[in-house]
Amino acid sequence: MPIDTLASHAPAALSTTQHVLAVVSGLAVGFSLGLIGGGGSILAVPLLLYLVGYPNPHVVIGTTALAVSMNAYLNLIPHARAGNVRWKQALWFAVVGAVSAYVGSSLGKAVDGKKLLFLFALLMLVIAGLMLRRRDGAGATQSGAQPHAESLPRLIAAAVLVGLLAGFFGIGGGFLIVPGLVFSTGMPMIVAIGSSLVSVGTFGLTTAINYARSGLLDFTVALLYIGGGVLGGWLGTRMATHLGKQGKGTLNLIFALLVAAVALYMLWRNLSAFGLHL
């Protein structure tokens, strides 16, 4: 859809019930971000569209990008205190990826959303399969171990690709960032989750700014999402830390199953974009 058409979609007036549902949705988003470092924007968009009933899909994308960004930054604090963040790798990924996210979000505003969601759901299924295959080995590196010497070029390449996709589809990209960090640095899953929040926040903020420039952002709803996300993020982070101590495979399994479930739902919702129906 052309950008000039999108700019006419002004923020909508919501009822009190819808405002409450926005807070509840934010709690679910924050919990997801705290627990697995991702899935927040994938949950945020359908919740705002279908549970809250927000009528303008492109405003939903801009609004949830801001909400997910702020929730990710807030959830980063307890992860950092728990020692689950490798700052050097996290900042490299965030800065490089933010440039790509801006480019991607500029392109994404002019492309049909249903087709993008359908194709992206296929990508999510591939990622879920990769995470399940590596469930027994991805967390083998101890939290104090150094990444491979050749990891910086791989880290930069992964950041460019993930940032472009995150901006293009209007998402925080945590479910792409986490495996990107694991595969390029060898860091354990719980550390990748904490480190990913730096990029989730930065990518989401970059996308939100780009959408806000076109008038596609509802600040009131974003604040409600953020408020609910504070509590949800605290609960999710506590659970993530606990699960990380129990075993390296548990978080990978939860992560992969959530990505696969959301992907299947998205495929079903967007079949009509290609003239397909069940």
What is the value of pTM for the model shown?
0.75
**How does pLDDT run along the chain (278 residues), one tens digit per residue?**
444 444 445 566 788 899 999 999 989 888 877 777 666 677 788 888 888 988 877 888 889 889 888 888 987 888 899 899 999 999 999 999 999 999 998 887 777 767 777 877 787 788 778 767 755 444 444 444 444 444 788 899 999 999 998 888 877 777 788 888 888 888 888 899 899 999 999 999 999 999 999 888 999 999 998 999 888 888 887 877 776 555 446 766 777 787 788 788 878 877 776 666 65
**Rama region for 53: left / alpha / beta (φ>0; ψ in -120 to 50; rest):** left
Interatomic CA distance for residues 78 and 94, integer angstroms: 19
With a CB cutoff of 8 Å and minimum separation 6, the contacts of 153 are none
Q: What pLDDT does 134 receive? A: 58
Residue 276: phi, psi to the nearest 5?
Answer: -105, 150
Interatomic CA distance for residues 246 and 124, integer angstroms: 26
Q: What pLDDT does 45 receive? A: 81
The tokens describing 154, both together, are: 């791989």
Q: What pLDDT does 260 receive? A: 86
Q: What pLDDT does 241 receive? A: 72
The tokens describing 107, both together, are: 């392109």
Q: What pLDDT does 205 receive? A: 93
Contact 200, 73 (CB under 8 A): no
Interatomic CA distance for residues 233 and 256, integer angstroms: 19
Domain chopping of the chain, boundaries: 15-274
Q: What pLDDT does 135 receive? A: 54
Interatomic CA distance for residues 232 and 75, integer angstroms: 9
The helix/strand/coil state of 57 is helix
Q: What pLDDT does 75 receive? A: 79
Q: What pLDDT does 244 receive? A: 58
- Single-letter residue type at 1: M
